[in-house]
Amino acid sequence: MTWLTWRQHRAEAAVLALLVAVAAAVLLLLGTSMHGLFPHGVARCAGGSVTEGCSVALQRLWEEHGYASKMLSLFNLLPFVIGAFLGAPLLARELETGTWQLAWTQSVPRMRWLAVKLAALGSLAVVLTLALSAVITWYRHPLDVLDGRFNADAFDLEGVVPAAYALFAFAFAAAAGVLLRRSLPALAAALAAFLAVRVAVAGALRPYYAPPETLANPVTAGDTTVDVGGPRPSTGNHLDWILTTGYSDAAGRRLGLTEVYRMGEDARRSGLDLATHLHDRGVSQWVEFHPAERFWTFQLIEAALFLSLTAVLLTVVVWRVRRRAL
């Protein structure tokens, strides 16, 4: 069965392996140049004040590699491509061509036939995605040290979640294939679902995997960074994921924008700078954030979520194959 699965899907496997190899080669080439900008380690140039050498290296980083780093957002589709292009034809091809009648009447029971295919192709999707994720993680290391790993292009492409995304795409495409009985409609349905679920999870669920921490500090008189448009308080670690910021009064009550703008007008009329005016009234800046140390916790939570969805979809596949009349 394993050999038969390989023969039936070797074209997809070869194309996807070539795609991953080309992407990895490009990242290795660009990454070697980017890492070379920091011969003593990028950590020395992160955080607060930096040396002149770091300033030059950072400027070259954004000038020479900024475009490539932005292009990484396109890699968000690769887990879908890997998973869906293996999952869509898994059953849809058999149903389109009618070969399912031959395959399921042989000596191998249909459930074993299905289990081998799901295991072999699902494992291939995981291996290819994890290999690509490892290269992306290495490539992004200087950027992660500077910007943190909660950046969308980092969190979505590093760690274990890309493999979970690929398995979700694989399972949805397989389920769509067995229900729609056509490969291309199955791919289209899988793409729509993949994008919808990914966007919903990242925007509506990820920030709430754990209660955010809150830090509040009194406004310092004369602080030139204070602005009515929104405070920029520090959490003490530039790698933390800042969710939202604001001002609170002396009693700890959070102030709305209208109140803050009114205080700004009062400061101008009194001839004081905004920071001194807020300081005199006991106003504090607060920030809600997730510490950088929660990266792997959030990775495991999101991976578990997508694996749960994968299990549900595979249950649909098994149910549909089991009850299909010969």
Q: What is the pLDDT of residues 157-194, one digit of tens each?
A: 999 999 999 999 999 999 999 999 899 999 999 999 99
Q: How deeply is 177 buried, as exposed, middle or buried, from its count of CB atoms within 10 A (0-12, 13-18, 19+)?
A: buried
pLDDT at 313: 97
> What amino acid is encoded at 122 in this protein?
G
Confidence of residue 203 (pLDDT cuts 50, 70, 90): very high
What tokens does 324 get?
A: 């299909």
- Domain ranges across the chain: 8-45+52-209+295-323, 213-293
Q: Report the predicted TM-score, pTM, of the whole model to 2 decimal places.
A: 0.90
* Mean pLDDT across 83-89: 94
* Mean pLDDT across 246-266: 89
* Mean pLDDT across 8-22: 90
Confidence of residue 100 (pLDDT cuts 50, 70, 90): low
Confidence of residue 56 (pLDDT cuts 50, 70, 90): confident
What tokens does 112 get?
A: 């074993």
Name which residue leads in pLDDT, 118 or 4. Answer: 118
Which of 43-47, 130-134, 194-198, 245-249 is the least confident region? 43-47
pLDDT at 102: 57
Which of 4-13, 20-29, 72-81 is the least confident region? 4-13
Long-range contacts formed by 299-302: CB under 8 A, 24+ apart: 299/155, 299/159, 299/160, 299/161, 300/160, 301/209, 302/161, 302/164, 302/201, 302/205, 302/206, 302/209
CB atoms within 10 A of CB 16: 21
Instruction: Assess whether pLDDT exceeds 60 at residue 135.
Output: yes
